[in-house]
Amino acid sequence: MSAGQSTMAEETRRSLRERLGDAVSTGTADRVAYAHDASPIALRQAAAGELPHLPAAVVWPETPAQVAAILRWAQATRTPVIPYGGGSGIVGGALPVPGGVVVDLKRLNRIREIDETSLVATVETGINGQILEDRLLARGYTLGHLPQSIRASTLGGWIAHRAAGVASTRYGKIEDIVEALEVVLPTGEVLTTRSVPRSSTGPDLDQLFLGSEGAYGIVTAATLAIHHAPEAREFQAYALPGFDTALDAIRRVIQRELRPAIVRLYDAEEAKPHLGGLGLPEGAVMLLWGSEGPRELVDFELKGIRHICEGEEVVDLGSGPGERWWNHRLSTAALLNTLNTPASVSDALEVTGSWSQLGAIYRAMKADMLAAAGTRGRVYGHVSHVYQTGANLYMIFHATAASEDEVPALYDRILDAAFTACLDRGGSLSHHHGVGSTKARWLPIEHGETGMRVLRDVQAVLDPAGIMNPGVGFHGNGR
């Protein structure tokens, strides 16, 4: 780690101070603090005092105009820009590069307007997710976007990575929730789209920026669809004899047009702690449903779910497992405990595939990840976001290398096994965490040469100097 302030950093600081006043730092503490996000390898390295790159500076703009001033300056000086939200991303989407400036958006955190007739809220993107939800709940509304990281992540991070919350089957993912955006383009121009439910005026500009991971600009505000806070929330869980049986049950519920907010299927290994002592056969899985909304809707959905799920080989586990999950849903302790273990690494890889491929993707990923993880590895998984046509898979691994030095290579081998297995069977390598720098090298396999060229050509037009979050997503092959 080079903690000292370079001459370049001093020049950067002077230039930025002219534009932002005191909201600029080139101090050691700030540069160290922004040297990592929550991606597993970066996190382990940071805790060991290894910080490969410190940013040259960190800035905290409070207005879109200040963001525009930063980007104009960065474009002119070809200074890399790393947009930053809550730092909770786990794919290396907010890691600094040498000479880069981190733009932390957390001071852009105002709720500009809540339109209680149209049920939309216009909000600045640095707002913390839980604080946004709290302010909405106080007025009787919910965003319905409740990711596991809600207390840490920001609206801007959700948009940058095309995030999904745990209740997404009812409320939609962030791309379904966003009605309009205010974006500062890399050249400093500001694009504002209209808040309308739909339009037929060419390709959807909002969708261009959702998932662009900072490469196409910095989203400074969004207009979001909100909902009345749910009147009721109920859970129902079942034990089923196998993963494929449970996948089939989910598919039939969803294809019967039911949209319960929460659907979670845990494979045999992940379900084991919940099913112990019930005398169930080996391989039993747990399927957990959660329905919320108006009372009549909840009753109707749960009735439909029971009708499809209940049968001879199914054990009714009642509401307890769902309630326990809800109360502990924010914990990532299992993953972090492994990261705190010498020479060990863990991660949760969230891929997606169609119903016809999902079982095969699960089996192939599990087998190949286990083989890559070695004898001291564990792999398990669950489904947590479902659609008419398919679902996601959360494949979680824990592995221990022979030494600390070998952890990055082990991690890379497991990811390669996982993504190759998924992509070979028609899946996508990310459902909602994004690509970041961690997954960038597999992205060309998913999009192909033509797809990558389209993405890069768009960036070249929007960001002529190529300064926006380099090394992330379609910007390159990682760092």
Partner 1 sequence: MRLDAFAGDLRRNAIIHDQDLFAAPEVIATGKQTFAPSRRALLLELVRTGVLGWEPDVVDAVYAGLDSGVQHAFSVYRGEPGGWPDETPYVRAARADIVDAGMAPVYVQAIADAFRATGDPFGGTAGEEPRPGEVVHFTDAATRALAPETGAAARRIIAQVLPELGVLGSGSGGYELYDLGLWEDAATAIRATVDALQKLGARTVVSESPEAVVALTRFAAALGIRHDLEVCHLSAWLVARGYTPRGVVPHRRATYHDSSRLGRGLGVYDAPRALLAGVPGLELVEMQYRREEAIPTGPALGYPFPEAIPAMAERRLTEAMETGADLVVVASPYAKRNLRFAPVSDPPAIRDLLDVLAEGQEN
Amino acid at 457: D
Interface pick for partner 1 out of 9, 54, 60, 160 (rule CB under 8 A): 60
Among 36, 33, 23, 78, residue whose Cα is nearest residue 468: 78
Residue 63 binds partner 1 (CB under 8 A): no
The total number of residues written for the chain in this structure:
479
Residue 346 binds partner 1 (CB under 8 A): no
Q: Is 67 helix (H, G, I), strand (E, B) or coil?
A: helix
Interface pick for partner 1 out of 16, 43, 178, 265 (rule CB under 8 A): 43
Interface pick for partner 1 out of 16, 20, 30, 368 (rule CB under 8 A): 30
Q: Which residue has the tokens 């290579």?
A: 409
Contact 427, 361 (CB under 8 A): yes
Shorter beta-carbon distance to partner 1: residue 124 or 301:
124
Interface pick for partner 1 out of 33, 265, 410, 467 (rule CB under 8 A): 33
Beta strands in 193-295 (DSSP E): 218-225, 227-228, 232-240, 262-266, 285-293
Q: Cβ 113 to partner 1, closest distance in Å? A: 16
Q: Cβ 107 to partner 1, closest distance in Å? A: 4
Shorter beta-carbon distance to partner 1: residue 29 or 367:
29
Distance separating alpha carbons of residues 249 and 20, to the nearest angstrom: 56
- Cβ neighbours, 10 Å, residue 29: 10
Interface pick for partner 1 out of 80, 86, 470, 473 (rule CB under 8 A): 86
- Cβ neighbours, 10 Å, residue 466: 16
Shorter beta-carbon distance to partner 1: residue 321 or 353:
321
Q: Cβ 278 to partner 1, closest distance in Å? A: 23
Shorter beta-carbon distance to partner 1: residue 117 or 138:
138
Distance separating alpha carbons of residues 201 and 223, to the nearest angstrom: 19
Contact 310, 317 (CB under 8 A): no
Contact 240, 287 (CB under 8 A): yes
Stretch that binds partner 1, among 106-114, 237-245, 283-291, 353-361 (CB under 8 A): 106-114
Residues making contact with partner 1 (CB under 8 A): 1, 3, 25, 27-30, 32-34, 37-38, 43-44, 46-47, 49, 60, 84, 86-88, 90, 104-107, 109, 126, 128-131, 134-135, 137-138, 149, 151-152, 328, 330-333, 336-337, 339-340
